[in-house]
Amino acid sequence: MKKNLIWCEVSCRRCQAVAHFSGWYSPERIKKLKQETKSWREDDDYGILCPDCYEHVTRERELGIR
Ligand SMILES: [Zn+2]
């Protein structure tokens, strides 16, 4: 029987960091992935950002670099 496998991955658009719990779909994985990426943010310019990059981008904007 062929299983319907779906690759589930959350990655940062800026530094390409991939969430640790990325992998083949399972309800347990989704739960962990959601928990892990709770502090990740969707940005209008970049897309999905890890917490580090989100902080960096926010600081740059505050300083008026971008
Ligand atoms: Zn990042």
| Amino acid making up residue 13 | R
Containing structural domain, residue 11: 7-63
What's residue 28's pLDDT? Answer: 97
Protein residues near ligand 1, an ion, with CB under 5 A: 12, 14-15, 17, 50, 53
C-alpha 22/C-alpha 6 separation (Å) is: 11
Residue 2 lies in a domain: no
**2 Cα to the center of ligand 1, angstroms:** 35
Whole-model pTM: value is 0.80
SS (H, E, C) 13-54: CCCCCECCCCEECCHHHHHHHHHHCCCCEEECCCEEECHHHH
Residue 59 lies in a domain: yes
Q: How many domains does the chain have?
A: 1
**14 Cα to the center of ligand 1, angstroms:** 5
Q: Is 65 exposed, middle or buried (0-12, 13-18, 19+ CB in 10 A)?
A: exposed
Average pLDDT of the segment spanning 5-24? 96
pLDDT tens digits, residue range 34-54?
Answer: 999 999 999 999 999 999 999
Residue 56 lies in a domain: yes
